[in-house]
Homo-oligomer: A and B are copies of this chain.
């Protein structure tokens, strides 16, 4: 297994029911290309700006107040501590690579004041200090105390893995011990209205070997859906059914997806088939009925919730950045259980679209919602009153290197393609170095240079690819899209693996049960979903824009100076020239004037890059003429 010093994000090294074992964040160096650029911008701009926002938003000052180091009063929502913890987790993953002294000073300062805020009994939460101490654990439904603990524990684990220091891990363990006394097998039934701690507790077990944390995670999952209710029996809180009876993704999307991720973590340790049956059914429900083409999850504003099957509005898509990240975390765990390409396919879709869209190109402004259409006026913000999304971006992008690969006994699994160098040790003890060179996702051509030795390399062939050509030293290997192509060789140290994923500009159509996308198409190339932005078509209303069917002449164009360097798509679209404004909304079919189309040239840009040139209108799906 990978040593702790390599800093894996999810340590499945000893998990009996995880086929795959992690590489560490430290073991992968992103060298160039889109992911490397987004990764570096997050570290260079996002995380520093986040530290400033944590001060301005009272997140860090609250700890100073509660620790008695500074006067003042605690401000902000009940879950505000979690924003700081998520940022801290991201800062630690970033520090794994940068070893930057300034960043380390911020980490040290924050860790120090968190530790100083811990009560004798292990409790830490700035909101429930002082006058509000008596309210502790009186509102598990909504108070987010255990949720905040979960993020504290995840930060502590990252801190321990990256720095080797015990201080924050000790804080998290003491809090976990308190929770174990209160809500463990000898305590009362209890779980947080906002799941998250389940994942964290399993990881804390992995980090410390203390089986009580695994027991507590299991008990929190068991607590849901009990009658009389532990929470309030509501769908919103995922308390409508025992987890093992849940088969449909409902309720608050981020809560649901964190719960599923936690249950997957638990399954990796216990192998309990009832957990896996629920996870499989929920996965089918989400990814065959409730996901946007961008990978966005959670259709509804109301309750930040999953919609009904096929309920996927574009203009009013909620698609919270945190939900895409939570789905990314859940799929990662499913992938470690069993290396099935569909999990990685979806993670890639989410990453290149719904997650990257969550942050501005300069790395310092964030979307909370990620709609697939805008009429203008919607743009990213530097922070939020409910600031869950920005630091979730920080930690996810900072941990990206740890998500590119997994290992099994003698196999390196390559999940995602980006120019990078991997140095790792296989579970069988063999050292491996892979160098990957590619301009992915702008090009589907990937070269891999493996170090010498006998081991297998499993390359993900994305499900979206119409054709893939794989050659080892020029010799062709058969591959199947939507699976891992496994190459076993006695590598000589001078071999080259060439994978060419064909990336035509494609029109995508939706299952016609999605009413909002019916008779419409979206443009996709490789994993990247495209959109039309008003700024590129200033003279028309995007509401009047159609696509010819079949599309005429969609062509890719490299635009190195646009939006940080992207491949755009150009082609013919059709504008309805009939005057629609000021016309009756409903007319008898006999009096209906069908669209009269004029061809115009339009430019599509990658969806993730929208709203970086002003807050104009935007559309992913265009109706077919």
Contact = CB atoms under 8 A, between A and B. Distances in A.
A511 interface: yes
B301 A308 contact: no
A106 interface: no
Contacts of A541: 513
A515 B513 contact: no
Given A302-B301, A308-B375, A576 B511 contact: no
A119 interface: no
Contacts of A592: 509
Contacts of A311: 315-316, 375
Contact of A293 (B375, B512, B586, B623): B586
A543 B584 contact: no
B508 A587 contact: yes
Interface string A507-542: 111111111101101101000000000000000010
A580 interface: yes
Given A288-B585, A308-B375, A588-B507, A595 B313 contact: no
A101 interface: no
Contact of A589 (B300, B521, B590): B521
| Copies of this chain, count | 2
Most-contacted residue by chain B among A509, A519, A586 (CB, 10 A):
A586
B544 A513 contact: yes
Interface in A362-407: 375
Most-contacted residue by chain B among A587, A589, A592, A623 (CB, 10 A):
A589
Contacts of A316: 300, 307, 311, 313, 316
A269 interface: no
A365 to B, nearest CB: 23
B315 A585 contact: no
A473 interface: no
Contacts of A308: 315, 375
A555 interface: no
A183 interface: no
A506 interface: yes
Nearest to A582: B288
B589 A310 contact: no
Most-contacted residue by chain B among A302, A509, A541, A576 (CB, 10 A):
A509
Nearest to A290: B585
A561 interface: no
Contact of A511 (B313, B464, B585, B623): B585
Interface string A279-317: 000001001110101000000111000011111011110
A524 B466 CA distance: 46
Name the interface size band of chain A: 35 or more
B301 A511 contact: no
A288 B583 contact: yes
A587 B509 CA distance: 6
A554 to B, nearest CB: 11
A550 interface: yes
Contacts of A524: 588
Interface in A553-579: 576
A41 B415 CA distance: 66
B315 A550 contact: no
Contact of A512 (B513, B580, B590): B580
Interface in A312-348: 313-316
Interface string A591-603: 0100100000000
A541 B308 CA distance: 14
A193 B519 CA distance: 42
Nearest to A316: B313
A308 B521 CA distance: 23
A515 B585 contact: no
Given A308-B315, A586-B508, A586-B510, A519 B518 contact: yes
A398 to B, nearest CB: 30
Nearest to A529: B586
Nearest to A623: B518
B595 A512 contact: yes
Contacts of A511: 580, 583-586
A582 B582 CA distance: 42
In the A-B complex, list the 3 residue pairs whose CB atoms are closest, starting with the nearest.
A507-B589, A509-B592, A301-B302
